[in-house]
Amino acid sequence: MEWYDKLHDYFPEHEMKDPHQLVDLLEETDVYHIKETDSYIVLYAEFTTFIFIDYLLVTPHSRSRGIGSRVLNSLKTKGKMILLEAEPNDPDNEDTRRRLAFYKKNGFKKANRIMYAPEDFDGHPYPMHVLYWSPVEMEEEIIMGRMEKACKEIHNFKSKQYYGRILVDPDKALKLLH
C-alpha cells in the first residue's frame, strides 16, 4: 500500500487512520473511494448530499501546478457540498498556512460556529477547522449534521475493532456555537 505510506509520511500521526480500517472502508462500503495518480492521492466519501474529503495529498514534486485545484474542481462538478477537516494555522508550520490558503483560494469557507476537537490516540483533544464548499448557501446547522455523519460513518467505521474505542465521538468532538 504505497499510497498509505505517502499519506503517513505527510499527515501528522494523530490524523492517520489504521491502514486496515481504510482498506475496509474501500472494500466494504459503497461511499468510500480512492483516486491515486503519480501526482495526487485523494480518499473521500460520497454521500447522497455531500462529499467528505478524508485525505488529499498532492505529491511534493507536483505541488504548485494546479493539480490540487483540479482534483477539487472534479469533485465540485458533482454539485454537492464538500466537507473536510484542516489544521488551524500554526506559525511554526508553514504547511498549515499554505493548506488553509489553498482551500480558501478554491472557494472553501471555515464553519465559524462549529468547534471541532477530535482526540488523539492518547485521548488528548486537538483542534481542527471544519471547511466546506457548497454550490448553494449552507446553514452551519446542516454542515454540523453532515460532519456528525462523517464522524459516525467514516472515522468510526470499525473503530472499536482497530482502536478499541470510538475514534471520534461527535457528541464530544463537535460543538455548534450559537
Predicted pLDDT at 62: 84
pLDDT by residue for the chain (178 residues), tens only, comes to 799 999 999 998 889 999 999 999 999 999 999 999 999 999 999 999 999 999 999 988 888 888 999 999 999 999 999 999 999 988 888 888 888 999 999 999 999 999 999 998 888 999 999 999 999 999 999 999 999 999 999 999 999 999 999 999 999 999 999 8
Predicted pLDDT at 166: 93
Contact 47, 31 (CB under 8 A): yes
Predicted pLDDT at 27: 98
Model confidence, pTM? 0.95
Q: List phi, psi (to 5°) of 147.
A: -65, -40
Pairing type for strands 81-86 and 50-58 reads parallel
d(CA 108, CA 132): 5
Contact 55, 7 (CB under 8 A): yes
d(CA 161, CA 43): 21
* The dihedral sign for the CA sequence 130, 131, 134, 137: positive
